[in-house]
Structure 1
């Protein structure tokens, strides 16, 4: 099965792919129950769920703070670097091996571009001109793009009335957030387009991985760490050409980038795996619907960003549409 975590990382399992994608923060499949694997985690899953929601919800605020002191490409490079270091430590602790095969690494390079380097950079550039609240809501449109693309690219994802209704409702919410009835007055078109394009990168990358990295026999952690490592190398080549090297190192933006990478791009993924194994993907993926809420609250409370009535209303409509695209009718019991 193939998923993208917060649009950040691809997870590949060797089991057959599911018939439909999940949300913008898709969740890897459930493995053996935690009780069957061994000792129970020290923290209750609800506490870890809340922590994961906060980490990913604050990611857009951290991007905004990071771009106050560093160029967008520098923020993305730092984010990937710190995230890779966290996963490298986890791989070393579990004695994971790197994937083998030239073709696997080529596919990982494409996945790293689509799911890490490109969207991370686009969000960083977008937040130069748009508030973090709007960036967080744009990220919530990823499951809508994913559902629309999967209906076309994946033969097993058949359109249904409920899914089509969810797509329509979701994109109506996007228009509400952007204030379409007033001609998008006061909206930075370039920054908003970058944020929406970043959210579109995630389902494109997810579909690519689903088509190319099936049945490779590699572990989740090995592929995740390798993909982030490749993305870090990509930014290491691009950043000096377009952004140069920092002339100074402001402390607060640097701490924001470090937290964005170590927590939001590294530790959060490991926490999410524990949740999936303990409570299953259906419950764990509910974190998706808390991210834009927390991102909006953080932007208003911490950064003092303005908030019109259409932003929370439109965000609620977007999330309702995304939830509708992921829902299914319960099968009617067969009569004897």
Structure 2
């Protein structure tokens, strides 16, 4: 008999891992450009997953590969670059809170694209969540006038991609093993990631002699092992044993972890931003709450 509480254990583990990813991205950018960071994160993760689960590839039905490729680009490839680009201008704590839009976008895309019905309560939650998002961005631009909060758009775009990926996994990859999904994703996206790395100037003498390069590579390694490779497998499993919306509710706890890291690293965060974050989480909560 399956343990009905196991999904909560997966959710907690994933929240802590991904909540710590934002500060690791910030530290990695000290010696790397966003494109180098995104590429190295993808390549490191691809190598790890290839060694861990290469033998799973033979069990993937041919009909599933198109969805694996699409899942790889939407759930891993583009967000790896987008979050790195965003954190060149906005704080890691703010990026993590904006990432909380994933459950709301999961509902929107589920309704618009995958024909999954939504309740009035869920729609209300989406509206409240986006009001909190607007408030968070506007207040952040006032508090940090030297930061360009238009870069928050990269995070929002990533949440839409994550939401689409969740629905794809649940609808089309339900019967594929979580590790096989992750390995299949990275088999394809590692190739364009390497091409981007070559053209990013990573192998130039100026970059290789950068004083912060070794430290940045260490942070990327941690980000790849825990924040991507292990987390991807855990997340895919969580989607399969629960629902897309429950799995994406990992964003409940992530902002708390990321906020703690951000404050410890000296990032500023106002009371109004805290209220905006609370609005987003209330919106996420309402989108999950079901009538008894």
- The answer to whether TM tops 0.5 is yes
Aligned to 1:111: 71
Aligned to 1:247: 208
- How many residue pairs end up in the alignment? 282
Aligned to 1:189: 149
Aligned to 1:199: 159
Q: How does 1:135-214 map to 2 (within 5 A)?
A: 135-155=95-115, 157-179=116-138, 186=145, 188-208=148-168, 213=172
- What residue ranges of structure 1 are gaps of 5+ in the alignment? 1-31, 36-40, 331-336
Query: Does the residue aligned with 1:69 lie in a helix, a strand or coil?
Result: coil
The TM-score normalised by the length of structure 2 is 0.83
CA distance in 1 between counterparts of 2:173 and 2:258 reads 34
Deviations 1:132-180 (A, max 9, x none): 011111111111122122222222x223220111011111111221236
Q: 1:138 to 1:181 in 2, by over 3 A?
A: closer
CA distance in 2 between counterparts of 1:284 and 1:112 reads 17
Quick check: 1:134 aligned with 2:94? Answer: yes
Q: 1:208 to 1:33 in 2, by over 3 A?
A: closer
Aligned to 1:124: 84
Q: 1:318 to 1:108 in 2, by over 3 A?
A: same
8 A contact 1:179–1:310 mirrored in 2: no
Query: Does the residue aligned with 1:140 lie in a helix, a strand or coil?
Result: helix
CA distance in 2 between counterparts of 1:127 and 1:207 reads 27
Q: How does 1:1-336 map to 2 (within 5 A)?
A: 33=2, 51-91=13-53, 95-98=55-58, 99-101=60-62, 104-155=64-115, 157-179=116-138, 186=145, 188-208=148-168, 213=172, 218-245=176-203, 246-248=207-209, 250-271=213-234, 287-301=250-264, 303-330=265-292
Q: 1:304 to 1:58 in 2, by over 3 A?
A: same
8 A contact 2:36–2:200 mirrored in 1: no
Flag the structure with larger Rg.
1
Q: 1:280 to 1:203 in 2, by over 3 A?
A: closer
Q: Give the root-mean-square deviation of aligned CA atoms.
A: 3.2
CA distance in 2 between counterparts of 1:181 and 1:256 reads 26
CA distance in 2 between counterparts of 1:78 and 1:223 reads 20
Deviation at 1:34, TM superposition (A): 5.6
8 A contact 1:176–1:314 mirrored in 2: yes
CA distance in 2 between counterparts of 1:326 and 1:248 reads 49
Q: 1:261 to 1:125 in 2, by over 3 A?
A: same
Query: Does the residue aligned with 1:305 lie in a helix, a strand or coil?
Result: coil
Q: 1:49 to 1:192 in 2, by over 3 A?
A: closer
CA distance in 1 between counterparts of 2:93 and 2:140 reads 20
Deviation at 1:206, TM superposition (A): 3.6
Aligned to 1:5: none
CA distance in 2 between counterparts of 1:106 and 1:313 reads 42
Deviation at 1:77, TM superposition (A): 1.8
Aligned to 1:333: none
CA distance in 1 between counterparts of 2:113 and 2:247 reads 26
